């Protein structure tokens, strides 16, 4: 009996606890749902309010734009001219006053004396010339008398030329010297670039640089151009892209010597010695084929 009573108490307690827990769970879920719906409604209301505000702003902007466009009326140039020329219609009182003024103006008459015309154009010209002849003679005499005095006064009053004006009338020596110095520096740079290309094996481009520098620095440019054609000098160049020309190199070396270059003499002597050593042995016509060569 006791055991059954205890079991019954336990069951009753469990049932009561489960009922309480289910009640509290339902209450919690109800409150959560209410809070969620309230928060969702608030967000929706705020979003809708924001959308309505943006819509009103956009409508105001578009409405003002449409109003401006509606007020603008496209008119042709002729219509604009007519609008400018046209005047507003006057009122009745103003019209009556204007009519009265017009009638009074019409009643007034101005009498103009009839103009007497000469009988012919020749008589008119003769009359004008006769009328103006004395005045012209007096004016010419006064001009002739005053002209020498005016010239002498102008010469006396003329200011002496200043140093700046005198210098402006003559060509600037400093500007000329600056231009010559710049051209000289340019030619030196071109020769240096040509030697750099020559050592790299670009003989054709090097010759172009030397020829460009020939106008301002003929002596050094002639020496450099001769070296670009010298077979003995091109041996020191890595893979030259042209065939050497000894005759042309000799001519350029001689030209450099005449122009005053000091290094050209040594290059010319070296080239002549190399050519003399490389000349083939000449056999005499009377010498047999198996004879020793004559040097």
pLDDT digits (tens, 9 = 90+) for 200-237: 889 999 999 999 999 888 999 999 999 999 999 998 88
Q: Is residue 262 helix, strand or coil?
A: coil
pLDDT digits (tens, 9 = 90+) for 45-67: 888 888 888 888 887 765 554 54
Q: Is residue 250 helix, strand or coil?
A: helix
Report yes or no on 132 lying in a domain. Answer: no
In the chain, the percentage of residues whose pLDDT exceeds 90 is 24
Contact 235, 251 (CB under 8 A): no
Report yes or no on 89 lying in a domain. Answer: no
Phi and psi at 86, nearest 5°, equal -65, 145
Give the pLDDT of residue 34: 85
Of 58 and 246, the one with more pLDDT? 246
Report yes or no on 223 lying in a domain. Answer: yes
Number of independent structural domains in the chain: 2
Q: How far is CA 47 from CA 38, 52, 60, 75, 249, in A?
A: 14, 9, 20, 46, 94
Report yes or no on 128 lying in a domain. Answer: no
CATH number at residue 224: 1.25.40
Report yes or no on 114 lying in a domain. Answer: no
Q: How far is CA 275 from CA 149, 245, 253, 280, in A?
A: 86, 12, 14, 10
Q: Name the residue range of residue 232's domain.
A: 180-278
Cα–Cα distance for residue pair 248/207, rounded to 1 Å:
13
Report yes or no on 231 lying in a domain. Answer: yes
Q: Of 61, 78, 110, which one is at a domain's C-terminal end?
A: 61
Report yes or no on 25 lying in a domain. Answer: yes
Report yes or no on 263 lying in a domain. Answer: yes
Cα–Cα distance for residue pair 204/197, rounded to 1 Å:
9
- Predicted confidence (pLDDT) at residue 287 exceeds the cutoff of 50: no
Of 124 and 253, the one with more pLDDT? 253
Of 250 and 9, the one with more pLDDT? 250
């Amino acid at each position: 009996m006791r055991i059954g009573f205890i079991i019954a108490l336990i069951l009753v307690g469990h049932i009561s606890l489960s009922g309480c827990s289910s009640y509290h769970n339902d209450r919690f879920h109800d409150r959560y749902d209410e809070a969620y719906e309230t928060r969702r409604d608030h967000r929706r209301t705020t979003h809708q309010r924001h959308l309505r505000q943006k819509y009103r702003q956009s409508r105001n902007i578009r409405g003002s734009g449409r109003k401006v466009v509606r007020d603008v009326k496209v008119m042709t140039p002729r219509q604009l001219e007519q609008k400018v020329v046209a005047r507003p219609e006057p009122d009745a009182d103003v019209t009556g006053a204007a009519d009265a003024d017009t009638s009074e103006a019409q009643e007034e008459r101005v009498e103009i004396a009839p103009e007497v015309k000469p009988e012919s154009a020749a008589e008119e010209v003769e009359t004008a010339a006769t009328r103006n002849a004395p005045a012209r003679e007096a004016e010419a005499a006064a001009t002739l008398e005053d002209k020498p005095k005016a010239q002498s006064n102008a010469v006396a009053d003329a200011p002496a030329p200043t140093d700046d004006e005198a210098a402006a009338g003559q060509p600037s020596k400093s500007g000329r010297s600056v231009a010559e110095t710049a051209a000289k520096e340019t030619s030196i740079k071109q020769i240096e670039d040509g030697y750099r290309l020559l050592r790299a094996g670009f003989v054709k481009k090097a010759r172009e640089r030397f020829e460009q520098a020939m106008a301002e620095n003929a002596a050094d440019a002639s020496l450099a151009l001769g070296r670009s054609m010298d077979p003995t000098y091109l041996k020191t160049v890595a893979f030259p892209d042209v065939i050497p020309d000894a005759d042309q190199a000799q001519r350029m070396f001689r030209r450099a010597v005449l122009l005053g270059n000091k290094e050209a003499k040594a290059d010319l002597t070296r080239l002549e010695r190399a050519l003399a050593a490389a000349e083939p042995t000449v056999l005499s016509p009377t010498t047999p084929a198996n004879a020793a060569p004559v040097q």
